[in-house]
Amino acid sequence: MKNQVKIANVIKPFKRKKIFVSSDKSLSIRCVLLSSIAVGRSKIFNLLESEDVINSLKIIKKLGVNYKKNKDYFEIYGVGIGGYDVKNNTILDAGNSGTLARCILGLLSSLDKNIKLIGDRSLSRRDFIRVIRPLNLFGVKTKSLNGKLPLEIKGTKLLRPINFYENKASAQVKTCVIFSAMNTPGITKIKAKKSRNHTELLLKYLNYPIRIKKLKSFDEIHVKGLNQIKSFDYKLPGDVSSASFFIVLTLLSKNSSLIIKNINLNPSRIGILKILNKMNAKINIVNRKKYRGELIGDIKIKSSIKLTPINCPESLNSSAIDEFLLIFLVAAKSKGVSTFRKLDELNKKESPRLNLAISFLKMIGIKVIKKKDIIKIYGNSELKLNKSYHIQKFLKDHRIFMMSVIAALTLGGKWKINDKDSIKTSFPNFLEIVKKLGAKIN
């Protein structure tokens, strides 16, 4: 099959290799959206050219924002807050991107036009009630299919500031509310459980009047609306979510070592590094530096012979939410029982990832018990596969495809893995990098 890869051999040892991975997707989408409402020309270097980001560019184009691709950067000609120019009954297609779909709604809140937001099959299954509720509080009218896409939205020039408690640790919901608050006169107050804070850091860098008070389990955020932001230049670092596949590839491969260069190490994103180090992984950060409020550095990894199980702290869930498929794979190869709690949010991603991860682990011979919100994974440090496996039914989820490739390259067996094209949403050159490290993939 054209859209399938075949793997029949584990990867050979690789040492002292250095790689760059794709640019940070969360930051790429936010840079596109914020530059569209900045005043003047912004330059975004190293913009991730994945389907999710390309769909972001297509959407701002439909909203009257011009952009130009140059050799190594994109120029985006922002129209200022409230400057979008869009026809009534415009349809915006977010493709597979929950980040894009939820965040753009906040920027549409002051548009007194009927706009329909659609997405692909996977995105259309996901919950939008969590952003519909705050938008309605602002005064935005919405109509949806039981809280799912397609979603019709009609904004208003008479937005009112709100007090909002974000209790799901969702950076997408938080950003939607912040973006809507930027279109609203007065001060909107947000109490948000800890989650990714790229939006806040970008607005701080852009000198937007946003005030953040960090407390133990949540942040208090005050946003003063109707203030313009100036155009900006931004050079995007690598994505720690993309780097994570190569971290685990190295950990589970024999006699291997790797350096992954120039990675965004935002504390709200590196839960996987903290979790894996608790499992006796050999991961170090070098060449740390600050850029536009974000912490950047290189990640050094060595093979780990004796991985230990973990009783995973719930406090690390939100900062590792996109990486738990890989963490489960490491748990499967550790000696002992690992315990995880309150991860049902994984079933609200591009696919029901938690359910599929459990099925995957059972398929490769790992005992897994799930009771209510507790998951126990019974690891086997001697795990070696020699059967044939076919991964085919996972709603074209890019992370499940890439995790399956890592499993095949480290555990053995003969694999057929469908939907290779799914990586275009987040990491188009994933297979190219894997092959450069010596993997044989047909």
> Which residues form the catalytic set?
322
Give me the residues paired with residue 374 across strands.
Answer: 341, 371
* Structure token pair of residue 252: 């589970």
Which helix or strand (DSSP H or E) is residue 11 part of? none
If you search the block for the tokens 């948000």, which residue do you land on? 192
Q: Running DSSP on this structure, what letter comes out for residue 316?
A: G
Q: Report the candidate in 111, 159, 114, 158 with the shortest Cα–Cα distance to residue 134.
A: 159
Check if the beta carbon of residue 200 is closer than 8 Å to that of residue 26: no
**Residue 341 and residue 373: Cα distance in Å, rounded?**
6
> What stretches of 41-122 show up as alpha helix (H) in DSSP?
51-62, 98-107
Strand order in the sheet with 148-154: 90-93, 114-118, 148-154, 141-145
Which helix or strand (DSSP H or E) is residue 164 part of? strand 163-166
* Structure token pair of residue 223: 């946003």
**Residue 74 and residue 36: Cα distance in Å, rounded?**
12
- Main-chain phi, psi angles of 199, to 5 degrees: -60, -45
**Residue 383 and residue 411: Cα distance in Å, rounded?**
7
Look at the chain and count its residues: 442
* Structure token pair of residue 316: 């690390």
**DSSP string covering 346-360:** GGGSSS-HHHHHHHH
What region does 419 belong to: left with phi over 0, alpha with psi -120 to 50, or beta? left
Q: Report the candidate in 299, 262, 260, 263 with the shortest Cα–Cα distance to residue 282.
A: 299
Cα atoms in the Cβ-side hemisphere of radius 13 Å centred on 416: 8
Identify the three-state secondary structure at position 120: coil
**Residue 398 and residue 404: Cα distance in Å, rounded?**
10
Which helix or strand (DSSP H or E) is residue 152 part of? strand 148-154
**Residue 118 and residue 384: Cα distance in Å, rounded?**
43
